[in-house]
A and B are shown apart, each in its own frame.
Chain A
């Protein structure tokens, strides 16, 4: 640290740091329109000029380029410095509709939005959606730009003469209006350096210099992932969120967590007094996500229109579900469940929870199950998680591993065993890219499918679906390349692992995201992943293995008690029992098993067979169609609680209130009370406290308040006994049984869908990819005479899926990929209910409509 003087105050600063960051940290306002903290200076806007004593050739220097040196004397607000900044700003203003920004009367107008000079309305800030939240606007105000007499007053500026470039409003997420652009290129650098996506570029030169997406076409035709990192850094209205564009002016902010995947990115909702949450910004609490989120985190709150959310309770009357008052509905629900319990005992009732709900809701739901007295408690993907847990416990004595997501970007070697983290857990994929780009880390991908991550990979092991575990184990054993795996890639992977083993100082991380449709494979994969981590890091393996469940709060739901009790049935068993008439009543909370669990037709039949189905949900899901009673609850973002992410951080989640539906917690509590539970929590915080008392490791409110980003639930792995677990014999799962013309099915989450939307078959479900397609390798397609766009049938043993084909060598020959949430989980019909039995299902192609 050295001492420098800023505006006559002595300040300690790190030598070599960019001066502008130090100035801003001192609370001094200074215009800097192109600088992004932490990145190399671009030095394009030239508005951060300050006076540095003794600097050559002039004391007026850019503070974003200048680096801190001992004894530096800086003055930010001398007449000369300010005037120079105003001069530069006036040049920027000349190419921006600036009648308000450089108006000396502006201070009189605010916040009236009425122009006393009656200036052209389209040149005023009033007609700009960024009004009152615009960095350019505040910069001009801080700089007293209104006092600066612009040299071009009255000049026929090319800006006002030339027709403005057309704004791009072609996608549902972000709007791009080049007319507002001041060419600071923050977006370009955010996309390149923060996201490693490179969808935005600077095009043209001189006065035609312009930001362009991809090759200059529309945003959705580029590589853009709509993460919105560019929106966060844009100082003008050039890049704006499309949803709530005009009302995204936050009156208040609330800190929250995204529940779209298990990364648990912390986000802030901007609350508008009239509209509720209208805008999302990354909240830096999560040490892994920090200032980045993905399209789901940023836009999920807006996934479906409000009117598609439940606001009133529904009660079955014959074939129909009719609105009812919440009291009546609750009474009816209690009555229906109680009737079954009385008639057939508590064992005839099952409770299904949600891996997307808060810990608190799960905790109360578990209490509800105890009140009923049933051990049959689970959630749709519970078995998958338990299989992984079991494998991890076998290896390390606990499934609560200390490995941290924040270590990913510091890793030197990363092995991912996952279908496509880019689509399923995008921010984890981003941190892996960080490691690859900034640290030259070596990434080994083990996956049945292509991903954007392939481009960042040192080696790509393309496996047949179902072979992930066996192939990973072969890698651990240093075996020869398995059949169908590219030998060069295999060798590259072995070399990378050997190099990681040889360098004990280097950081190696294994990321495992199990297949959610195949319980046995998930367990085997976890064993192989554990063995890989042990092979790489020996006793320290638990620090280097990251398990990424598919859904957001799998860990929390399980910890809070959503798991079969002694003698309890698992989800698949509950479904089977319901089909057989042994389970006759189900309480279903916050999830739609038809959308996540294999064996769709069996589940539908089981739901239809129930005497009583009480659904507590935010939307009228396809499962709710079978309900006796549907109790509405507020969406996740509108309820408070805590959430446990993949690396066992517990984050507080504050409600961004929206709509009239009561919180899930209050609904569940009322239901539980009706069923005889002695739960009477006054607030979510009270549940948090009770949860902390009951579940070992969980934080109290005080702990959460003290360390919003640092509360972790970590077990103590018995490192001394970290031992390789014997994997199941590398059985050729499904192989050999594949008949002529049969393909193996792959499914998984795609980036652009919403759970709620899919659950109700809403058009909004998939805002960008309206026409989802089955990916078929061109070789298979040729054999079956199918072209891209042809409508085909995928015929399995349990059903048929009707879908358009897309020829894509991103899937290996012999496989076909269908997005998980396509047509409300239609593809799950092709999977058997019990994923353990048959492995990945086989399907036949049937061309229906030659293009």
Chain B
């Protein structure tokens, strides 16, 4: 009994300190400017803004502090900053560029209104008539109370005490302190209906059961943080916004699967995530929440970040395990499954970042609480990232079953044309026609009728200026290059597929291409891993849903003027003053003729686009005439 009290007591002791620190952070003595520091903000110049603010504060000796938070989700407004006033009111501003820094500092420093036009909403507290950020249209589909993202904007991600003060590690401490059985933990997850968030949707509790029952002393718990799909940054938000949430989830997982060691396989292209996670691990170890004898219970769990080396197939669980085991990063033949032979040849379990991150929340509340959101088939909430031809690029935490059409609305609708296609799930995902958006909800089953998958949470909207053939060429090359080289069907088949697609957009489409693409599709199905099996999916979707576009491309027609072989560059305005610049820049000297009678020699033009860039009014793209030979065949 003494031990029970001990674990919780230790947690309470940590909590006491943490509460004080957090209280002081929430109600600072003087205003504090928190710059949103995450990969998206950094890419948008957060560092410059931060430097400008720091410089100003130093030079004016302003009575203001600087700090950091994670962005709130409105990434089209990055870089954002928050100002927390001594009364605990926190206002979100954005975008705050270097030139806006003085105004913002003034606003924080007491000249209320100096940056009024940059205000987005209130993160906490009330000020004048600034609306709460929760009332912002962009978040109107989110639960009123955020769950996975509950700490964004409200903590410094690099501060363990902030996390603890917001009930962090409470679930883990309670689980260990009350001697909850491993089975009970797994059962709660099963009741809650938590499934794998990487896209495969396998029940997490069941998976943990496999590892728990695996023989041997050494079990490894592995986190798949090799998030590589273009347009997906879900795991990154968790790792950079609330790293301890992942750590706590893994700690609980380690307890429930009898693992004493764990790895976070993190792609090297996320250096900021690596930095945050490694910092968080150090902090947790120092506080006795990771490592040996956690919270005095004798439980030990050691975690390490393993940096990926840039291979897409290492996102496949066996590929990832091979990479961790110092083997060539290629998926292997299953069985044996990871629960039997995983990292370093020992029984292992691999889950997505988000899968682990849900665990402390479920344990802190209960299964019913978790089931409040989501659908019959898929419970809970999930972070989705939205990008493409929309004005509001960002991430939201949505309950499963949210309407995709409504999502597009809050993202500001489609820019630059009509909605043409929706691309969920990255290169191994799908391409769904835009006109079915009203029928789509964010749930795997909803995408199934379109031979499509929802994937890991990245969704890209494409307008009608997108050539689906150019899109599929890009994805096709990607999956070809990223094939691990094991299955001839995959590395050879994707080469053939890419060759055909490339030839079509080069203007040499053939009648037999379509049956051949189907042939390749069928043959690639005999590949070992998901990379191979899913690699022809987008091409298949095009033949299913965008057959007209495909047909036109084969005929040599592309109204988007992006398929390189299907348009020609012409001189649109002989008198345009920029025209000589276009002539000069042409690397092949394709623009010839006397002044006033210049023309582009089609044979020389390589469609590099340089002339269009320097002389946008003088030069223009123009569709090529469709090839009569092909037309006759139809």
Binding site for B on A (CB under 8 A): 40-47, 49, 58, 60, 62, 65, 84, 87-88, 91-92, 94-95, 151-152, 155-158, 182-183, 185, 201-202, 204-209
Contact = CB atoms under 8 A, between A and B. Distances in A.
Output the residue of A40, A43, A202, A205 with the most chain B CB within 10 A.
A205
Q: Is the interface of B mostly helix, strand, loop or mixed?
A: helix
Contact of B488 (A41, A46, A84, A151): A46
Interface of B: 311, 313, 328, 330, 333, 480-489, 491-496, 499-500, 503, 512, 515-516, 519-520, 522-523, 525-528
Contacts of B527: 46
A94 B500 CA distance: 13
A157 B485 contact: no
A207 B476 CA distance: 12
A405 to B, nearest CB: 30
A749 to B, nearest CB: 35
7 contacts: A44-B487, A47-B488, A60-B526, A91-B489, A95-B495, A183-B485, A201-B328
B481 A43 contact: no
B481 A206 contact: yes
Contact of B489 (A41, A42, A46): A46
Contacts of B526: 46, 49, 60, 62, 84, 88
Contacts of A62: 526
Contact of A209 (B491, B493, B516): B491
Given A95-B492, A183-B485, A205-B481, A41 B333 contact: yes
A84 to B, nearest CB: 7
Nearest to B516: A151
Contacts of A158: 495, 499
* Closest 8 pairs between A and B when the two form their complex, measured CB to CB: A209-B485, A206-B481, A91-B492, A151-B516, A87-B523, A44-B486, A206-B483, A43-B333
A178 to B, nearest CB: 13
A507 B122 CA distance: 76
A595 to B, nearest CB: 45
Given A151-B516, A155-B496, 10 more contacts: A46-B488, A58-B525, A87-B522, A94-B492, A151-B520, A152-B516, A158-B495, A183-B491, A205-B482, A205-B484
Nearest to A188: B328
Contact of B519 (A58, A65, A151): A151
Contact of A207 (B333, B481, B500, B503): B481
B499 A205 contact: no
A209 B209 CA distance: 37
Nearest to A155: B499
Contact of A94 (B482, B483, B496, B515): B496
Contact of A46 (B485, B487, B495, B516): B487
A158 B480 CA distance: 13
Output the residue of B493, B520, B523 with the most chain A CB within 10 A.
B523
Contacts of B484: 205, 209
Given A88-B526, A152-B496, A182 B488 contact: yes
A46 B522 CA distance: 13
A47 B522 CA distance: 14
Contacts of A156: 499, 503
Output the residue of A91, A182, A204 with the most chain B CB within 10 A.
A91
Nearest to B517: A151
Contacts of B494: 206
B398 to A, nearest CB: 31
Contacts of A47: 488
B328 A202 contact: yes
A40 B332 CA distance: 11
Given A65-B333, A205-B482, A207-B481, A92 B488 contact: yes
Output the residue of A42, A62, A65, A155 with the most chain B CB within 10 A.
A155
Output the residue of A92, A151, A152, A182 with the most chain B CB within 10 A.
A151
B258 to A, nearest CB: 24
Nearest to B333: A43
Contacts of A208: 481
Contacts of B480: 206-207
A431 to B, nearest CB: 23
Nearest to A40: B333
A42 B486 contact: yes
A639 B125 CA distance: 100
B446 to A, nearest CB: 22
Nearest to A161: B499
B479 to A, nearest CB: 8
Nearest to B508: A156
A88 B523 contact: yes
Nearest to A84: B526
A551 B557 CA distance: 78
A415 B84 CA distance: 73
Given A88-B489, A91-B488, A91-B523, A206 B516 contact: no
B394 to A, nearest CB: 33
B254 to A, nearest CB: 28
B497 to A, nearest CB: 10
A141 B12 CA distance: 75
A220 B1 CA distance: 68
B495 A204 contact: no
B482 A206 contact: yes
Given A41-B333, A205-B481, A87 B487 contact: no
A41 B486 CA distance: 12
Output the residue of B330, B489, B503 with the most chain A CB within 10 A.
B489
A207 B516 contact: no
Nearest to A86: B523
Contacts of B499: 155-158
Contacts of A91: 488-489, 492-493, 496, 520, 523
A370 B515 CA distance: 84
Contacts of B330: 202
Nearest to A62: B526
Contacts of A65: 333
A40 B519 CA distance: 30
B252 to A, nearest CB: 34
Output the residue of A42, A58, A88, A202 with the most chain B CB within 10 A.
A88
Contacts of B313: 205
Nearest to B486: A44
B451 to A, nearest CB: 15
A205 B528 contact: no
Nearest to A65: B333
Contacts of A202: 328, 330, 485
A304 B414 CA distance: 78
A182 B503 CA distance: 24
Contacts of B486: 42-44, 185
A182 to B, nearest CB: 7
B335 to A, nearest CB: 9
Output the residue of A87, A92, A185 with the most chain B CB within 10 A.
A87
Contacts of B516: 151-152
Contacts of A95: 492, 495
A156 B528 CA distance: 28
Contacts of A60: 526
A88 B503 CA distance: 22
B238 to A, nearest CB: 28
A51 to B, nearest CB: 13
Output the residue of A46, A155, A209 with the most chain B CB within 10 A.
A46
Contacts of B500: 155
A43 B522 contact: no
Contacts of B491: 183, 206-207, 209
Contact of A205 (B485, B515, B523): B485
Contacts of B512: 151
Contacts of B525: 58
A208 B495 CA distance: 11
Contacts of A87: 519, 522-523
A442 B216 CA distance: 23
Nearest to A57: B525
Given A49-B526, A151-B512, A158-B495, A204 B485 contact: yes
B495 A205 contact: no
